[in-house]
Amino acid sequence: MDLISWVYIAAGTGLVALLLALFFATRVLAAPAGSDRMQELSGAIREGSLAFLRREYTWAAGFVAIMAVLIFTLLDWGRPWGTVAYIFGAALSALAGYVGLRVATAANVRITEAVRQGGVHEALPLALRGGAVAGFSVAGLGLAGLALAYLLFHVWLEVNDAFQIISAIGLGVSSVALFACVGGGIFAKAADVGADLAGRREGGLSEDDRRNPAVIADNVGDNVGGVAGAGADLLESYLGSLVASVAYAAVVFGTTGLGARAIVFPLVVAAVGTAAAVIGSLLVRPRRAVIAAALYRGTYAAAVIAVLGVLGPCYWIFSDVEGVDHTLGLFFAVVAGIVIGLLIGRISAIFTSDRYRPVKEIARQSGTGPTLVVLAGLSDGMRSAAFSVLVVAGGIAGSYWAGDWAIPGDGGLYGVTVAAIGATSIFAVVASTGAFAPIADSAGGIAQMSHQPAEVIEATDSLAALGSTTAAAARGVAAGSAAVTTLALLLAWRGATNAASLAAGKGAVLDAIDILEPATFIGLLLGGVLPFLVAALSTKAVSRAAGQVIDEVRSQFGRIPGLREGRVEARPEYTRGVQIATGAALRGMLLPAVLAVAFPLAIGFVDVRALGGFLAGALVSGLLLGMSLVNSGGAWSNAKKLVEVGAYGGKGSDSHEAAVIGDTIGDPFKDSSGPALSVLIKVMAMVSLVFAGAFVG
Amino acid sequence: MDLISWVYIAAGTGLVALLLALFFATRVLAAPAGSDRMQELSGAIREGSLAFLRREYTWAAGFVAIMAVLIFTLLDWGRPWGTVAYIFGAALSALAGYVGLRVATAANVRITEAVRQGGVHEALPLALRGGAVAGFSVAGLGLAGLALAYLLFHVWLEVNDAFQIISAIGLGVSSVALFACVGGGIFAKAADVGADLAGRREGGLSEDDRRNPAVIADNVGDNVGGVAGAGADLLESYLGSLVASVAYAAVVFGTTGLGARAIVFPLVVAAVGTAAAVIGSLLVRPRRAVIAAALYRGTYAAAVIAVLGVLGPCYWIFSDVEGVDHTLGLFFAVVAGIVIGLLIGRISAIFTSDRYRPVKEIARQSGTGPTLVVLAGLSDGMRSAAFSVLVVAGGIAGSYWAGDWAIPGDGGLYGVTVAAIGATSIFAVVASTGAFAPIADSAGGIAQMSHQPAEVIEATDSLAALGSTTAAAARGVAAGSAAVTTLALLLAWRGATNAASLAAGKGAVLDAIDILEPATFIGLLLGGVLPFLVAALSTKAVSRAAGQVIDEVRSQFGRIPGLREGRVEARPEYTRGVQIATGAALRGMLLPAVLAVAFPLAIGFVDVRALGGFLAGALVSGLLLGMSLVNSGGAWSNAKKLVEVGAYGGKGSDSHEAAVIGDTIGDPFKDSSGPALSVLIKVMAMVSLVFAGAFVG
């Protein structure tokens, strides 16, 4: 068997994942779609989601066009293939978001209908499959796309700089992800928080009450934020880790001998992980088990299969490289990555699931009012971030050691990049469980809006509660793996910069990036600043728009006669809420995108060492702040659910009021500001990697 | 005039500041102390404060004893003088806290009495003087202490390693500051938040209602946290910047020629700053002007005087060093530092004063409930931190450039250390305005508890409101200058490490601290973690203890007949609240202290480069997180005050309720967790500096 066969296998595995997504999609679409009223509501949600996606993608396309021009004019390699690859990456990301959204907006109403007909156990497979479509299209598009790019540029076209061109794909994916994640997140949370607060203020409507004029916007938000936005984020981490590892290997080991193998290996690990995820997802038999346990089991099964499955290919590729055996060390590096992913997911689960002490403690504090709820949630978020980063640090140490053992010298850092792939290898499962939550949420919304009986609403609520725990773990894994991915990108960037400056006859300018050199240290401070700034901007965008939604709801209750009483002829103007959220999202996503590109470019052209400090500073502050926001939000969300099922006074009590305040504060944290940071740090590293040559040229 | 004369002048200036503090203290004590009832209350607050201080210092003394043993056994220089210096530093810090506390607890009741007799304009000078005692004793003890240490070790005893010994003084100050700041902060906010929430829940008592069993604890907290704790923090920054600059100069330039001048210069800058503060404080004539403006004017006046005053000595010292003139560059470095301090104070004021948009916007959001209040406050906190760090980065760039211009080569980094002194030089003013707030708060408490007429309570409230704005600016300056101080300490640490490893024949081990070397990067991550962990721990300590205070208050209202109705014979058991807060404070301050010492020591002995990454990571994350916590808290506090004076519904409205929730969430942020971080990063840098030789020995 030839080395190149592995690339075909990777491409094939990606296609299998896509076929599985297609199969799940057809199964979902084949399910009955419920009454006319339900289909009308679901149609409104779908239309709204697609309309927003179109506008979001239009803006993103403008951004991509500008970047494409920059790439074409500033970079002297791979012309025009680098630009083509960049646009290809952007298209991949847009496609992944579109497919996931399309199926999710069809799945929601079918889940509601399934619950109506057969209860929660009838509906669960549908919800899982709806989520899996998003998950497997992310993994499939990423893997197949990159493997095809390898074949196209390196094998068929035999372009020089094939692996720099491949890194441009990563930047394309990142560019669209930034818009999808930040824009979708702001839309979702402006509508969610606005609908929730306005509903409560106007006579205690629930957020999904049909009379609430923001209710359609809220459900649209679940889909554009939770499905399209989160999917783009995961695809970015997935592709980012592959690009980093491939680029690092190509720069440091060259493209022949050990280098050729080191370049192919990342694709193989990703393929094994995706195959493991396919098997794992088929192993989950939710009908017969506690649901949450089944979901976790799927993840662990996939992880174990991935670990076992990667050993064979690893041996095949590395057991005899000019007489030297590198197998075990690199295998351990992959395992270190998988363990990092699982441990971070575990930490997130412990801090955000209602089965553990932190969330129980927050719920207990709700008896004293909102203050201690908020303080406890924030402090738990910071604690969980601290623990997660310790895990990341341990994983880096372990994978460096393993890589260095395998290939003394440059192998240590290659091990770190390989660990990043390990951490993202079973992302198909993670993305599936992540997309499960918004789909179930939206199904619950449709159940309420179409006035289903109490037991149907209760059953869809229980699905949503389940989703909110698994989503928290998925967000944690995404944020944690983003850190390793970003570090891998940094390493690739340093390699690319040194290679370019050596080629330009300037020596290796990044031989050492001295942290106490003033430029580097100032870079470090600036890098630390950016996540705080972006989190502030996106939180501000959400809270300002939520305020406008509240005003709008109030005004509609004032001017539409019979709306408050729920008369049938009194129809709220749902589109106003959608418009407000859309405006906020489009305005709010622009500045972060510009900052994410302008800062690294400007600093890179002034001083590449300062850029090293900048990227490291952004990584540290973005990772810690992002994880703590995400986990605080998850903890509050589940503490509220704990109170809602009856703890400390239950629904309608003062405790509930306090818990709801925590939950609404956490909404933008966990679904917009927090995830935005993990995209931010990856985009900035990706920009630096792609433009590395231009900075020193 | 001899170079040494400047040291005598510095010592003299320190003594003048101490005399001024003494003069202010006697003036405060000479004022009438009010009725028996008021004196009884004030006595209870004083006794409680001193009792807590005794216990806190006892624990700190244990810690200091252990550290003294470590210093004596692990360090091979200056024995036993290093240990003596360390203990001397610890004593300085304890003394500064004690003096400030003593006068503050006497000033409070006298302010209430002055308001009773002559209104707010009669009371203001008293409040200013009470604060100034704390401010000038901090500056005086720091300056005189360090100048005397210089004379003692370098001139009179002629000890080798005199400047390493002096750095041990810094560590002593830091050790006690950590306890005073963290312990005092936790005590203050556990009592404050607990009293506030419990009072509201139990029939709408205000936090200063005599019937509230937590009221004495709350007032004790103002003093042990706001006066003793904050004073220790400021003294630490002040001394830290001096120690860093002196140590850096000694290591890099040696102790003769240019070196001798560069060592003395920091003391001169500090002396000029203190003299300027003395003059500035005498220029403030609060009787005839808007009070806040007068306080700001004092600061600006001091800054201008310091800038003008430093030029002469700078010329004298540096205009002819072996024929070369270094004057202008180093003068600019000092100015850069002063400008950093002023700008950061300005940014804090803009984000936390009710005269600017951010706070007004938070107050406006209060109409929609607590959620958007909290989100707006958090996002403004992050934004203000981002801007402040940009200022710090600019200041570092400017001072590096100026220093490098003055002394090409090593002068750039010396310029940065000099800027740190500039930023802390007029700390006497900053500390005075900072201590003003808790004193005024406590005066208000006594007014309420002793049932003064409404206009007296209103007048003391207006003093407290003024204090809360100036305190926010003071906290901002403290946090921002901590960053420059810490960087200066890092530079001194690197110099000391290289010197020690050169002396040990190992070459300069820290020639470059490569940020992408795995050990350094892991250090960077660990360093980033620690501030999040410490903030989480101290927030948790506050919220847990506040919950206990609430339970205790409820229980007293249940079991003490007539308490709720306010019958005279129904006396609440004030001591229980004090006990709960004391327990929380003592338990809560131990772990941060241990972490702050154990982490740098452990990492330093394993890998000094990792320690470089660690300190830089802690600085970036601690600075950003700390500033954002401090300014969020300040903004909420003043937004609440804005609502209380009638905006958006005023006292008792739903808006007020929402604003109070923001305020209580911000209490631990601004007064315990946030300030704890600025102490944390300084302590860790100081530990590293003092033990630098041991790591490479």
Per-residue pLDDT reduced to its tens digit, A353-375: 888 999 999 999 998 999 999 99
**Option in B379, B525, B527 nearest A540 (CB):** B379
A324 forms beta bridges with A321
User: Which residues does residue B321 pair with via DSSP β-bridges, in sequence order?
Assistant: B324
Task: Quick: pLDDT tens for B65-100.
Answer: 999 999 999 987 778 999 999 999 999 999 999 999
Contact (CB<8Å) A379/B512: no
Which residues of B fall within a CB distance of 8 Å from A656?
none
User: Is the model's pLDDT at A505 over the cut of 70?
Assistant: yes
- How many residues does this entry show for chain B? 697
Q: Does B512 touch chain A (CB under 8 A)?
A: yes
Query: How crowded is residue B558: how many other Cβ atoms within 10 Å of its Cβ?
Result: 11
A 403-462: CB under 8 A from B: 412-413, 416
**A interface test, pick of B416, B516, B533, B544 with most A CB neighbours within 10 Å:** B516
The answer to whether the Cα torsion of A477, A479, A483, A488 is positive or negative is positive
Measured between CA atoms, the residue of chain B closest to residue A369 is B197
Q: Which of B197, B368, B371 to mutate to test the interface with A (most CBs of A within 10 A)?
A: B371
Asked if residue A370 has a cis previous peptide bond (ω within 30° of 0), the answer is no
Q: Under an 8 A CB cutoff, do A546 and B628 touch?
A: no
Shortest CA distance to B16 belongs to which of B137, B114, B115?
A: B137
Residues of A in contact with B513 (CB under 8 A): 514-516
Q: What percent of chain A has pLDDT over 90?
A: 69
Q: Do B518 and A379 touch (CB under 8 A)?
A: no
ipTM of the complex: 0.95
pLDDT tens track for B336-360: 999 999 999 899 989 998 889 999 9
Residue A247 has pLDDT above 70, yes or no: yes
How distant is the alpha carbon of residue B601 from its chain centre? 24
Of A369, A385, A617, nearest to B620 by CB-CB distance is A617
Partners of residue B525 in chain A, C-beta under 8 Å: 389, 392-393, 396, 620, 623
| Torsional sign, CA A361, A363, A367, A368 | positive
Do the Cβ atoms of B431 and B396 come closer than 8 Å?
no
- Return the C-alpha torsion angle A602, A607, A609, A610, nearest 10: -50
Q: Mutate one of A379, A537, A660, A663 to test the B interface: name it (highest B CB count within 10 A).
A: A379
DSSP summary character for residue A649: G
Sort residue B353 into left (φ over 0), alpha (ψ -120 to 50) or beta.
Answer: beta
Strand partners, B324: B321
pLDDT confidence bin for B668, thresholds 50/70/90: very high
A476 in Cβ contact with A630 (< 8 Å): yes
3-state class (DSSP) for residue A20: helix
Is residue B578 within 8 A of residue B52, CB to CB? The reply is yes
Q: Give the mean pLDDT of A252-266.
A: 93
Determine, for residues B392 and A525 on separate chains, whether the beta-carbon distance falls below 8 Å.
yes
Q: How far is A532 from chain B (nearest CA, A)?
A: 5
Q: Is the pLDDT of residue A15 over 60?
A: yes
What is the distance between the alpha carbons of residues A456 and B107, in angstroms, rounded to a whole number?
66
Confidence bin at B289 (pLDDT 50/70/90): very low
Residues of B with Cβ-Cβ distance to A207 under 8 angstroms: none
| DSSP 8-state secondary structure symbol assigned to residue A222 | I
Average pLDDT rounded to a whole number, residues B648-655 = 89
Query: Model confidence at B528, in pLDDT bands (50, 70, 90)?
Result: very high
Nearest-Cα residue of chain B relative to residue A404: B518
Alpha-carbon distance B683 to nearest alpha carbon in chain A (angstroms): 19
CA-CA distances (angstroms) from residue B237 to A536, B174, B438, B600? 28, 9, 20, 19
Among A600-609, B255-264, B646-655, the least confident range: B646-655
| pLDDT tens-digit readout, A534-561 | 999 999 999 999 999 999 998 998 888 8
Distances (CA, A) of B21 to B92, B275, B428, B561: 15, 13, 10, 46
Measured CA angle at A523 (ends A517, A526), to 5 deg? 145
Q: How confident is the model over A116-135, as a mean pLDDT?
A: 88
Query: Is the pLDDT assigned to residue B202 strictly greater than 80?
Result: no
For the cut 80, the answer to whether the pLDDT of residue A203 exceeds it is no
Give percent of chain B above pLDDT 90.
69
Query: Any idea how long chain A is?
Result: 697
- The β-bridge partners of A321 are A324
* Residues 614 through 643 of chain A touching chain B, CB cutoff 8 Å: 616-617, 620-621, 623-625, 628
Of B412, B540, B612, the CB nearest to A515: B612
pLDDT at site A289: 47
Cβ contact, residue pair B665, A616, below 8 Å: no
Per the listing, tokens 């005024």 go with B440
Q: Which of B192, B364, B529 to mutate to test the interface with A (most CBs of A within 10 A)?
A: B529
Query: Looking at the partner chain, which of B201, B533, B613 has a beta carbon nearest the beta carbon of A383?
Result: B533
Q: Which residues contact A218 (CB under 8 A, 6 or more apart)?
A: A191, A192, A194, A195, A196, A207, A208, A212, A445, A577
Instruction: Determine whether B481 is exposed, middle or buried from the number of CB atoms within 10 Å of its CB (0-12, 13-18, 19+).
Output: buried
Please give the average per-residue pLDDT across B373-384, as a whole number: 96
Give the residue from chain A lying closest to B661, CA to CA. Answer: A371
DSSP 3-state of A566: coil
Q: Do B383 and A540 touch (CB under 8 A)?
A: yes
CA angle in degrees (0–180, nearest 5) for B562-B563-B568: 80
As a whole number of angstroms, the distance between CA A628 and CA A380 comes to 8
What is the CB neighbour count within 10 angstroms for residue B316? 16
Mark yes or no for CB contact A514/B518 under 8 Å.
no
Q: What local confidence, expressed as pLDDT, does residue A269 receive?
A: 96
Rounded-to-integer distance, Cα A516 and Cα B601, Å: 20
Q: Give the nearest partner residue to A620 out of B193, B390, B620, using CB atoms.
A: B620
The answer to whether B654 and B688 are in contact (CB under 8 A) is no
Put simply, whether B588 touches A (Cβ < 8 Å) is no
Kindly indicate the confidence band of residue B285, based on its pLDDT and cuts at 50, 70 and 90: low
CA quadruple A587, A589, A595, A598: dihedral sign: negative
Return the domain boundaries, chain A. 3-696
Q: Kindly determine whether residue B525 and residue A201, on different chains, have CB atoms separated by under 8 Å.
A: no
Q: What is the pLDDT of residue A287?
A: 56
Q: How many CB atoms lie within 10 A of CB A646?
A: 10
Predicted confidence band at A291 (pLDDT cuts at 50, 70, 90)? low
Distance from CA of A67 to the nearest CA of B (A): 27
Instruction: Give the distance from residue B624's alpha carbon to the nearest chain A alpha carbon, in angstroms.
Output: 7
Which residue of A lies nearest to B524 if distances are taken between CA atoms? Answer: A620
Query: pLDDT digit string (tens) for A458-471?
Result: 888 888 877 877 78
What are the chain B neighbours of A522 within 8 Å (beta carbons)?
393, 396-397
Q: Given its phi and psi angles, is residue A203 left (phi above 0), alpha (psi -120 to 50 degrees) or beta?
A: left
Helix (H, G, I), strand (E, B) or coil at B473: helix
- Residue B145 CA, chain-centre distance (Å), reads 18
Q: Which of residues 491-510 of A touch B (CB under 8 A)?
A: 491, 494, 510
Closest CA to B247 of B425, B74, B499: B499
Per-residue pLDDT tens for A649-688? 888 899 999 999 999 999 999 999 999 999 999 999 999 9
Q: Is the pLDDT of residue A442 over 70?
A: yes
Cα-trace Rg, chain B: 24
Contact A543 B370 (CB under 8 A): no
Residue B663's nearest CA partner among B634, B684, B697 is B634
List phi, psi (to 5°) of B404.
-70, -35
Question: In the structure encoding, which two tokens stand for residue A434, read together?
Answer: 């992540």
Instruction: Report how far residue A538's alpha carbon sits from residue B39's, in angstroms, rounded to the nearest whole number.
Output: 51
Percent of chain A exceeding pLDDT 70 equals 98
> Which of A373, A413, A525 is best to mutate for the B interface (most B CBs within 10 A)?
A525
* Contact criterion met (CB < 8 Å) for B539 and A393: no
The contacts found for A95-99 with CB under 8 angstroms, 24 or more apart, are: A95/A141, A96/A137, A96/A138, A96/A141, A96/A142, A96/A231, A96/A232, A96/A235, A97/A53, A97/A176, A97/A180, A97/A227, A97/A228, A97/A229, A97/A231, A97/A232, A98/A53, A98/A228, A99/A21, A99/A25, A99/A133, A99/A134, A99/A137
Cβ–Cβ below 8 Å for A664 and B371: yes
In A, which residues are within 8 Å of B653 by CB distance? none
Residues 6+ apart with CB under 8 A from B429: B135, B277, B280, B281, B298, B299, B302
Q: Is the dihedral of CA B408, B410, B416, B419 positive or negative?
A: negative
User: Which residue in chain B is spatially nearest to A401 when comparing CA positions?
Assistant: B518
Task: Spell out a b/e string for A202-241, using b for 16 or more CB atoms within 10 Å of the CB, else e.
Answer: beebbbbbbbbbbbbbbbbbbbbbbbbbbbbbbbbbbbbb
pTM, two decimals, is 0.96
Are the C-beta atoms of B239 and B141 separated by less than 8 Å? no
pLDDT of residue A292: 65
Q: Check CB contact of B376 with chain A, cutoff 8 Å.
A: yes
In terms of Cα–Cα distance, which of A421, A601, A439 is closest to A111? A439
Return the percentage of chain B with pLDDT > 70, whole number: 98
Residue B30 distance to chain A (closest CA, Å): 42
The DSSP H or E segment spanning A304 is helix A291-318
Class of residue A551 by CB neighbours under 10 A (exposed 0-12, middle 13-18, buried 19+): middle
Strand, helix or coil for residue A152: helix
Answer yes or no: is pLDDT of A432 > 70.
Answer: yes
Interface test with B, best of A529, A603, A614, A630 (most B CBs within 10 A): A529
What is the average pLDDT across B617-645?
A: 94
* Identity of the amino acid at B619: L
Report CB contact under 8 Å: A520, B524.
Answer: no
Q: Which A residues, 301 through 360, put their C-beta within 8 Å of a C-beta on chain B? A: none
Q: Flag if B374 and A665 touch (Cβ within 8 Å).
A: yes
Band (B208; pLDDT cuts 50, 70, 90): confident
- Amino acid B409: pLDDT: 85
B621 and A624 within 8 Å at the Cβ level: the answer is yes
